[in-house]
């Protein structure tokens, strides 16, 4: 009884932190972006929370602090590893509805009898609360801004996108308000322009404002490195008050757009080729896994201490604004190859991520499940207004219709010819509509016939897959569609997630060799068209074919399983090899001359797509035996060993010399992926007539100079795209 009485006496509601701000973050290993050890920043120091008396109600309050809608579960006994420093809170008891952990009952700040082996963790529901500026560290802020936009100045290029200059309008729960421009600086403008998706700002004098308005925000003082205006020092007037703006008016900014968002053809200008950072695996422009270039090889960034300041440096370097979210836990898929950077800690004003303080790491420090990603602020362009999907069962699918100007200058809706339509074109449509990744690109849409639109307005569309709008893609200058009728117009199915196949390039280099294989062992291979054409004139079954053999290990590093486009009812049984083929072509194997001319080739129908091995903690789902389901699970790989049939290039007719070995996965884009620029691998190849050597095997951008030339010479294409 005495112990219980003492325990009750020492419990009280925690007192406010000294500076009025508490920060929260998730840490530990292994974890995803929405789970981890809870760490609290209080009184200038990070610390943890003890698991004594911890409940799901506590987790709900903490998850809301972290910007999530609620908690799914919590963990005890330092599941995500023991923390360091202070144990700030112990015996925390919340009701679950509190808007701050400070309003829950506890022992008080820094009063604990726990060790770090009792650190509490949470798993939050992966759904964000509106209005949170930072996905990694959230500051408690009573005056949270829900939205911000620019209201164009009168007479300023009406209707032109993006809006680069205007009055700042801020949305609160009570409605929209303005910012008093007294004391306004270019550093403040830099922050606002970053939120609007622009990498920099123009200097401009005060512009008179005749707005009869409510000034909710005064005395803004940003350092210029903040990712969101709410992180700046400022004063708020009370809701529904009409505080004046002495000697001033509403704050106005003028922003400078990045190269992708300038007017006219300049909008399609590529980012500078020497950029040492790129984003991969994202569905939309300005989002993806962060990859950096070191020497000639790309690698990833570990998510330890990854935050909005570092993410914003990446975004601005690529011509976007500040970061909207700093994502951890390989949210945009796991990369491959080296992990170059860890504990990146940018101030926010660096020109490149490489300029930021960071640690070089070893394999023990980080795994690819900790790859950092970003979602950047990009300017609103209104691209979705000129395209729509009709007839689908959900908003994610349908027949593609474009709003284009007709010969008389009137804008009207029309169809896109389905000839040659692939998942690459579908990727662009889904991106333009903001509907995520492509799942399928369809050449016939007779089952989606619910619209009275019948005229074809675009044909011969050929996209690279990275364009922001369909009219940025090459297309016929005059509409020419082989199959007339709305039922042969293009359609798409979009998806939140997509697969991403990548070849293990080093393994190809390590396993290559030459075999002289007797013809009597190659009947099945000949039946499946795996030999050069000259094999048909050979003296079967005598003689041999010279084969360049190697292993292929194909990883799915995306966020969805890779599945054949055709259902199992359409798979073809091959009696000779006793298996089903689920794809017409799965990979191309080519030997090229140094000028890019093909000298030998081999192709592999999908022997059968299955999970050979998976990363730790991932279960296999696909197996070929007994007419099993085929595919490659996320974080698994399909291994084609060097010693199986068709795992080769027939080089019987090739003369000794220097060549390029090229392997392309999913070459016809039968199955949509989140990234098709990593489907090609190239190696330098030396063949002396008896032996072969490979070196510098690397994943190449599918749109190399050779591919660009292919686009330039595509018959009937229009290089000047529609604006």
Q: Which of 44-53, 234-243, 353-362, 456-465 has the lowest mean pLDDT?
A: 234-243
* pLDDT above 60 for 190: yes
Write down the CATH superfamily of domain 145-256: SRCR-like domain (3.10.250.10)
In angstroms, the CA 326 to CA 542 distance is 63
Q: What is the pLDDT of residue 80?
A: 86
Partners of 387 in the β-ladder: 402
> Lowest-pLDDT range, 331-345, 509-523, 544-558?
331-345
Q: Which CATH number fits domain 383-495: 3.90.1300.10, 3.10.250.10, 3.20.20.70, 3.20.20.20?
A: 3.10.250.10
CA separation (Å) from 605 to 336, 651, 667?
A: 25, 19, 11
The pLDDT value given to residue 605: 58
List the single range of 16-20, 326-330, 403-407 with lowest mean pLDDT: 16-20
Instruction: Reply yes or no on whether the pLDDT at 357 is more than 50.
Output: yes
Residue 271 has pLDDT above 60, yes or no: no
**Would you say residue 339 has pLDDT above 90?**
yes
| CA max distance for the chain | 100
Query: What per-residue confidence (pLDDT) applies to 363?
Result: 57
Q: Determine which helix (DSSP H) or strand (DSSP E) holds 57, and give its type and residue range.
A: helix 56-65
Model confidence over 469-484: pLDDT tens digits? 999 999 999 999 998 8
Q: Where are the domains of the chain?
A: 23-124, 145-256, 277-377, 383-495, 506-713
Q: Which long-range contacts (CB under 8 A, 24 or more apart) does 293-296 make?
A: 294/338, 294/340, 296/698
Distance CA(562)–CA(609), nearest Å, equals 9
14 Cα distance to chain centroid: 40
Model confidence pTM above 0.85: no
CA 190 to CA 203: how far, in whole Å? Answer: 10
Tell me the C-alpha distance between 557 and 334, whole Å: 5
Q: What is the pLDDT of residue 688?
A: 94
Instruction: Please determine whether the domains at 23-124 and 383-495 fall in the same fold group of CATH.
Output: yes
What is the average pLDDT score of the chain?
84
Using alpha carbons, select from 394, 399, 396 the residue that is nearest to residue 446: 399
Length of the chain: 723
Distance CA 298, CA 78 (A): 35
| CATH class assigned to 23-124 | alpha beta
pLDDT at 180 over 50: yes
Q: Which residue has the higher pLDDT, 535 or 266?
A: 535
For residues 184-201, give the mean pLDDT. Answer: 95
Percent of the chain with pLDDT strictly greater than 70: 85
pLDDT band at 156 (very low <50, low <70, confident <90, very high): low
Instruction: State the pairing for strand pair 411-416/456-458.
Output: parallel
pLDDT, tens digit, 9 for 90 and up, residues 698-714: 887 543 334 334 333 33
Residue 586 per-residue DSSP state = S
Strand partners, 399: 390, 491
Half-sphere exposure of 40 (CA within 13 A, CB side): 26
Per residue in 486-537, pLDDT (tens digit) is: 899 999 999 988 999 999 999 999 999 999 999 999 998 888 788 999 999 9
State the architecture of 277-377 in CATH terms. Answer: Roll (3.10)
Q: What is the pLDDT of residue 245?
A: 84
Question: Among candidates 229, 201, 220, which has minimal Cα distance to 308?
Answer: 229
Q: According to the model, what pLDDT value does residue 483 have?
A: 87
Region label for 44, one of left (φ > 0), alpha (ψ between -120 and 50) or beta (otherwise): left
Q: What is the mean pLDDT of residues 261-281?
A: 66
Report the 10 Å Cβ neighbour count for 713.
8
Q: Cα 253 to the chain's mean position, in Å?
A: 30
Count of C-beta atoms within a 10 Å radius of residue 76: 14
18: pLDDT strictly greater than 60: no
pLDDT of residue 122 exceeding 50, the answer is yes
Render pLDDT for 212-231 as a digit per residue (tens, 0 to 9).
Answer: 677 888 889 999 999 988 88
pLDDT value of residue 11:
38
């Amino acid at each position: 009884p005495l112990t219980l009485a003492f325990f009750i006496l020492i419990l009280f509601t925690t007192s406010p932190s000294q500076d009025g701000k508490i920060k929260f973050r998730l840490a530990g290993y292994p974890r995803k972006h929405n789970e981890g050890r809870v760490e609290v920043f209080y009184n200038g120091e990070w610390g943890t929370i003890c698991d004594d008396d911890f409940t799901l109600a506590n987790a709900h309050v903490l998850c809301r602090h972290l910007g999530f809608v609620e908690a799914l579960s919590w963990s005890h006994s330092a599941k995500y590893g023991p923390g360091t420093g202070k144990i700030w809170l112990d015996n925390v008891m919340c009701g679950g509805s509190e808007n701050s952990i400070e309003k829950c009952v506890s022992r008080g700040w820094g009063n604990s009898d726990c060790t770090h082996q009792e650190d509490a963790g949470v798993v939050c529901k992966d759904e964000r609360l509106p209005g949170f500026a930072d996905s990694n560290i959230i500051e408690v802020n009573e005056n949270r801004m829900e939205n911000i936009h620019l209201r164009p100045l009168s007479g300023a290029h009406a209707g032109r996108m993006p809006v680069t200059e205007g009055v700042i309008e801020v949305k609160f729960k009570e409605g929209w308000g303005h910012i008093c421009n007294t004391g306004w600086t270019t550093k403040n403008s830099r922050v606002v322009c970053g939120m609007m998706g622009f990498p920099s700002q123009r200097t401009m004098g005060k512009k008179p404002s005749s707005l009869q308005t409510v000034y909710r925000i005064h005395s803004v003082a940003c350092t210029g490195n903040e990712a969101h205006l709410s992180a700046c020092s400022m004063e708020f007037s009370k809701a529904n008050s009409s505080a004046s703006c002495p000697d001033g008016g509403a704050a106005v900014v003028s922003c400078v757009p990045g190269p992708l968002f300038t007017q006219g053809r300049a909008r399609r200008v590529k980012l500078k080729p020497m950029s040492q950072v790129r984003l991969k695996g994202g569905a939309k422009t300005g989002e993806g896994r962060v990859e950096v270039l070191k020497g000639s090889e790309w690698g990833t960034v570990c998510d330890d201490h990854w935050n909005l300041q570092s993410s914003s440096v990446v975004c601005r370097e690529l011509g976007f604004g500040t970061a909207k979210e700093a994502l951890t836990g390989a949210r945009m898929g796991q990369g491959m190859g080296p992990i170059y950077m860890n504990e990146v800690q940018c101030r926010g004003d660096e020109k490149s991520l490489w300029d930021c303080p960071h640690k070089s790491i070893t394999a023990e420090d980080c795994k690819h499940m900790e790859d950092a990603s970003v979602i950047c602020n990009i300017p609103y362009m209104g691209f979705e207004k000129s395209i729509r999907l009709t007839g689908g069962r959900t908003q994610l699918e349908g027949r593609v219709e474009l709003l284009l100007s007709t010969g008389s200058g009137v804008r009207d809706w029309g169809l896109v010819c389905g000839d040659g339509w692939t998942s690459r074109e579908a990727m662009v449509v889904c991106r333009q509509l903001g509907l995520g990744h492509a799942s399928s690109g369809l050449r016939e849409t007779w089952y989606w016939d619910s619209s009275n639109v019948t005229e074809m307005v675009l044909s011969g569309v050929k996209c690279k897959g990275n364009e922001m709008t369909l009219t940025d893609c090459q297309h016929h200058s005059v509409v020419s569609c082989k199959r007339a009728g709305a039922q042969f117009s293009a359609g798409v199915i979009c998806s939140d997630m997509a697969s991403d196949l990548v070849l293990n390039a080093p393994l190809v280099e390590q396993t290559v060799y030459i075999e002289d294989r007797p013809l009597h062992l190659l009947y099945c291979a000949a039946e499946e068209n795996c030999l050069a054409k000259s094999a048909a004139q050979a003296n079967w079954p005598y003689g041999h074919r010279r084969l360049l053999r190697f292993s292929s290990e194909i990883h799915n590093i995306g966020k969805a399983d890779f599945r054949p486009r055709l259902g199992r009812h359409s798979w073809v049984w091959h009696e000779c090899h006793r298996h089903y083929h689920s794809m017409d072509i799965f990979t191309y194997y080519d030997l090229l001359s140094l000028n890019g001319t093909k000298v030998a080739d081999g192709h592999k129908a999908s022997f059968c797509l299955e999970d050979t091995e998976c990363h730790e903690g991932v279960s296999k789902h696909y197996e070929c035996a007994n007419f099993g389901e085929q595919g490659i699970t996320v974080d698994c790989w399909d291994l084609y060993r060097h010693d199986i049939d068709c795992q080769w290039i027939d080089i019987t007719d090739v003369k000794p010399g220097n060549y390029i070995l090229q392997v392309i996965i999913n070459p016809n884009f039968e199955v949509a992926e989140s990234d098709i620029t990593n489907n090609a691998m190239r190696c330098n190849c030396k063949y002396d007539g008896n032996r072969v050597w490979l070196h510098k095997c690397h994943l190449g951008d599918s749109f190399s100079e050779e591919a660009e030339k292919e686009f330039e010479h595509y018959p009937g294409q229009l290089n000047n795209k529609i604006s």
